[in-house]
Amino acid sequence: MNEPGLNRLPRSCAVRLQAVYNELRKAERRAADFLLAHPQKVHDLSIVTFAERAGCSEATVVRLSKRMGYEGYPQLKAELRPSEGGADMFEYRGLRPDDRPAVVMGKILEAAARAISDTASVIDASAYEGALKVLCRARTIMFCGVGNAAVVAQEAYLQWARIGFPATFAVDPDFQLVLASQLRPGDVLVAISHSGQTRTLLNVVREASRAGATVVGITNFPLSALAKQSQFVLQTAVYTAYVSGEIVSKRVAELCIVESLFVNFLMRRRGTYQAQLAASNEVLRANKL
């Protein structure tokens, strides 16, 4: 991918393109590469001219626009107005060896804040509400993640377990498969993966699907294998130079989605779990000064 071109796009547009680029078809990628090579010119181009210069059809330009989450080419083009350039997009690679400690801290906090803001702008409200509905009706919820995503899954598990809900979680990939095989229709698997391409997690997703459970996927890439195997996709929007790189911004956005689902769950089932939550809060006082 043309990284300099990506950095010249408006941040929200760059995040959308990065999320789908590796899954684009050959003609769609030609259109994407033209966009990356000439980001400042696209706003002035008709769809006919864009297609001719990119070496693809007009239909391909429309498909690329929709894959990026726009209604069509006019909406993509509108975001590329010259005044909305994305030169200020920040990534950890922008850290300098001579940056003072407070500057490094500020840049990392800024990246996390942008990840949250960008996620709020791209997440599909209907998918989110659909995921919430199945969670509220679930008999059991299993939370699953691998590597650092397991930290997010564990946090989600602890929240639901605190109110006495029969949630499940495991770190070991083998036991994840065991738990997934025990799910039943009406149960929910919440699978968390930034790339959406983690093999062991996808094995768990397939096992949960075979068992009849509903899959809610939290991922940064809407065309990933996880997204394709999920009934509800909750997309984060975290720009990273390397998909496999580990930066806290990835997990902050995922944690915020999980937290919002839990709060919404409690608001809708407050009468059922209010007493248990109060009891859990009370017993925890023993560990406070």
For range 151-169, the mean pLDDT: 96
Helix/strand/coil percent split, the chain, to 5 = 60, 10, 30
- pLDDT of 84 reads 38
pLDDT at 276 > cutoff 60: yes
12: tokens are 């929200």
pLDDT at 268 > cutoff 70: yes
Is 0.85 surpassed by the pTM of this model?
A: no
How many Cβ atoms sit within 10 Å of the Cβ of residue 232?
23
210: tokens are 């075979």
Q: Give 87 or 144, the one with higher predicted confidence.
A: 144
pLDDT, averaged across the chain: 88
- pLDDT of 88 reads 39
Would you say 30 and 50 are in contact if contact means Cβ atoms under 8 Å apart?
no
Spell out the domains of the chain, with CATH numbers in brackets.
Answer: 3-84 (1.10.10.10), 122-287 (3.40.50.10490)
How many Cβ atoms sit within 10 Å of the Cβ of residue 264?
16
Which pLDDT tens digit goes with each residue over 38-80?
A: 888 888 899 999 999 999 999 999 999 999 988 889 889 888 8
